Amino acid sequence: MAQLERDYVLHRYDGLAPEAARELLLDVGSRIRGVVISGGVAFGQRELERMPSLEIVASAAAGYEEIDSDFVRARGIRFTTGSLTACEDVADMGMLLLMAARRQLLAGDRWVRSGEWERQGMMPLARSNAGKKLGIVGMGVIGRRIVPRALVFGQEVAYFARSPQPAVTARFEPDLLALSSWADALIVIVSGGPSTRNLIDAQVIGALGPDGVLVNISRGSVVDEEALIAALSTGGLAAAGLDVFASEPAPDPRLLALANVTLMPHHASGTVESRDAMDQQVVDNLAAHFAGKPLLSAII
């Protein structure tokens, strides 16, 4: 914010009540040349139409399903995201949730804190991560970072994506159901939006099976939560590790009540290092645009 305040005339839209926000756009919208936006904020045609001079939208987040990208493209507005800055930490979170879910980290923590260790001795055995088959759903920059991490843990890796990625040292599987049937665990890391809504449905979860683990570090909309809750509740799925939910920041209470779910509050990129890098990339993209230089992370 200090850099933006130094280099630009800022109009703070964030934090305003709806009526005040509308008044702000009516007052200054015609003069706005750049917009800075973060994740979880809808930015659609109504707002864009009030900014006829807009040249660039710079988002700190990696996902952009809440932004009307079709309208942005039609208007010739540049659009950048933070997609390149947090991939290492998000990949770490995928593996962390997989390990925690399969090795029952939270159950072990409770076993110690509650005194069950002293009263009953060792807790029930968990499952090993080594030697298991991992399916990765999505092979963008984060998926490509997960592959070597999984290989280090002695796992066999295959992936589902729109097309094979020649540089990836894992087997491409064009059939999601086949991947789920083969895998012991799935890590889901695809973009959100209508095209991937409920991509992980009851059939995919059923194919993963009663010993399977599902990890979602993409968007809550990608997983059919009703099907997931049913499988976790009835033994159709062993465990899940979730960083994202259909309803945020108040996930379905049925998920919160399940002992075989490891939960994080949409925090995969939540490190000082990643958030600093995401914000700096916003500043650098704006500076590059207004200097007539190539953008660092252009989507459009």
What's CA 275's distance to the chain center, in Å?
14
Strand-pairing partners, residue 262, are 241
Quickly count: other Cβ atoms within 10 Å of residue 248's Cβ: 12
Task: State yes or no: is 266 an active-site residue.
Answer: yes
Amino acid at site 148: P
The DSSP call for residue 241 is E
Q: Catalytic residue at 145?
A: no
Q: Which of 78, 219, 225, 289 is catalytic?
A: 219
Read off the amino acid at residue 284. D
On whether the CB atoms of residues 255 and 261 are closer than 8 A, the answer is yes
For the chain, the farthest-separated pair of C-alpha atoms sits apart, in whole angstroms, at 70
Phi then psi for 144, rounded to 5 degrees? Answer: -65, -25
DSSP notation for 178-233:
HHHHH-SEEEE----SGGGTT-B-HHHHHHH-TT-EEEE-S-GGGB-HHHHHHHHH
Give yes or no for a contact between 176 and 135, defined as CB atoms under 8 angstroms apart.
no
Half-sphere exposure of 233 (CA within 13 A, CB side): 11
Annotated catalytic residue, options 266, 267, 273, 289: 266
| Cβ atoms of 36 and 282 closer than 8 Å | yes
Catalytic residue among 49, 73, 171, 248: 248
Residue labelled with tokens 């995201």: 81
All residues at 6 or more sequence positions from 226 whose CB lies less than 8 Å from its CB, including other chains: none
Paired sense of beta strands 213-216 and 133-137, if any? unpaired
CB 211 within 8 A of CB 238: yes
Residues marked active site are found at: 219, 248, 266
